């Protein structure tokens, strides 16, 4: 890939993914029950080989998958992304035994993964987490506390859990654990959220974990979390770009066909200029997402800044483009079941999860001033 375009093979693969999403994934998504894991959809993602690509591809491929799926089936995109987010720490930091047990099952869709970082008092401020991992006297720990706003909870089969094993606040002393859902003392409650997939709270009542459940080294859990988020933040932007493109496509089709005021809506300069602005912003966000993903794959040192920029611009852009498309469609876009009604509900959350827009601005500013000091 150059800075300006994809290779022909990549473009063809994206088109193939959009076709698969429309033909094979969209019908399964429509049959799913909102607020619950759609296991049939997850299994189909496995049969298509898309889940296994989460663990063999780089950040750019992940972005292309998420953008392409989002244009035709946001539910499939989210199911794929949550498998990757929950299991990437196992793939990247787990032991051979952990990977052998879980990665094949996540890849074929028979096991559902979740990333359990946020807490009631530690959302955007992830370093403030308080879930306690107390030594049990035998070389293991007992997890006690709560997690909240966890996607796929309480229906996941395995959780990547971040807990505090050391004293003090901040990033130091945080350890990552792989916790199967059937561990004694682990319970969950679904939350009634504006999302098609489950989001829940988890309660840890002296849940036992041992050295065999560690992901990475004790006290290095925040590094595991940030490694995962730096990979997935650009692809959150790709999800947003896919939604923006779907909304732009809808606006183009509607304004080209809709007759009003003695002609087509597209013939009104006020309308055509809005569509042009939507297209410019969408393409700018897409290029920033691709650039951030390419930087990650190249091992560039400024990945945190680029990833934050990509997520910020793309998610804010998607919100704008979807809103403009709704305005151009009028009341029909607000009818339950309309594509834009669906996108309007879906597009809001990415500006909050995996670091709210304000957090991304903070990361960007921190990295900019850090680079100034390093000169």
Residues with catalytic function: 354
Alpha carbon distance 317, 311 (integer Å)? 10
What Cα–Cα distance (Å) separates residue 169 from each residue in 88, 128, 131?
A: 25, 6, 12
The DSSP-derived string for 313-355 is: HHHHHHHHHHHHHHHHHGGGGGSTT-HHHHHHHHSSGGGTTTS
Backbone angles phi, psi at 141, to 5 degrees: -140, 165
> Alpha carbon 136 to chain centroid distance?
35
Alpha carbon distance 303, 58 (integer Å)? 14
Closest residue by Cα to residue 101 from 221, 213, 222: 213
Q: Which helix (H) or strand (E) holds 236?
A: helix 221-257
**What single DSSP character describes residue 22?**
I
Closest residue by Cα to residue 319 from 272, 352, 360: 352
Alpha carbon distance 312, 315 (integer Å)? 6
């Amino acid at each position: 890939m150059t800075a300006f375009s994809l290779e022909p093979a990549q473009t063809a693969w994206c088109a193939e993914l959009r076709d698969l999403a429309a033909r094979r994934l969209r019908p399964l998504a429509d049959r799913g029950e909102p607020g619950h894991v759609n296991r049939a959809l997850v299994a189909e993602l496995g049969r298509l080989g898309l889940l296994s690509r989460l663990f063999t591809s780089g950040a750019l491929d992940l972005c292309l998958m998420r953008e392409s799926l989002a244009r035709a089936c946001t539910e499939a995109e989210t199911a794929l992304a949550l498998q990757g987010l929950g299991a990437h720490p196992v793939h990247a930091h787990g032991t051979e035994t952990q990977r052998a047990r879980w990665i094949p099952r996540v890849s074929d869709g028979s096991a559902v993964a979740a990333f359990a970082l946020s807490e009631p008092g530690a959302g955007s401020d992830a370093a403030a987490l308080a879930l306690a991992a107390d030594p049990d006297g035998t070389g293991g720990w007992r997890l006690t506390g709560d997690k909240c706003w966890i996607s796929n909870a309480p229906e996941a089969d395995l959780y990547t859990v971040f807990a505090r094993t050391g004293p003090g606040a901040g990033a130091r002393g945080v350890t990552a654990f792989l916790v199967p859902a059937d561990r004694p003392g682990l319970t969950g409650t679904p939350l009634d959220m504006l999302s098609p997939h489950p989001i829940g709270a988890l309660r840890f009542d002296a849940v036992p974990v041992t050295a065999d459940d560690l992901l990475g080294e004790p006290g290095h859990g925040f590094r595991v979390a940030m490694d995962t988020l730096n990979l997935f933040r650009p692809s959150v932007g790709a999800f947003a770009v896919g939604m923006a493109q779907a909304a732009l496509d809808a606006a183009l089709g509607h304004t080209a066909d809709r007759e009003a005021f003695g002609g087509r809506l597209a013939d009104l300069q006020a309308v055509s200029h809005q569509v042009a602005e939507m297209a410019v912003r969408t393409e700018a966000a897409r290029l920033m997402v691709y650039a951030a993903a390419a930087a990650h794959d190249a091992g560039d040192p400024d990945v945190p800044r680029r990833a934050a920029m990509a997520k910020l611009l793309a998610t804010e852009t998607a919100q704008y483009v979807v809103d403009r498309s709704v305005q151009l469609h009028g009341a029909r876009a607000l009818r339950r079941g309309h594509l834009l009604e669906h996108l309007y509900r879906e597009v809001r959350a990415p500006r909050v999860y995996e670091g709210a827009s304000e957090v991304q601005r903070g990361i960007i500013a921190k990295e900019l001033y850090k680079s100034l000091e390093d000169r």
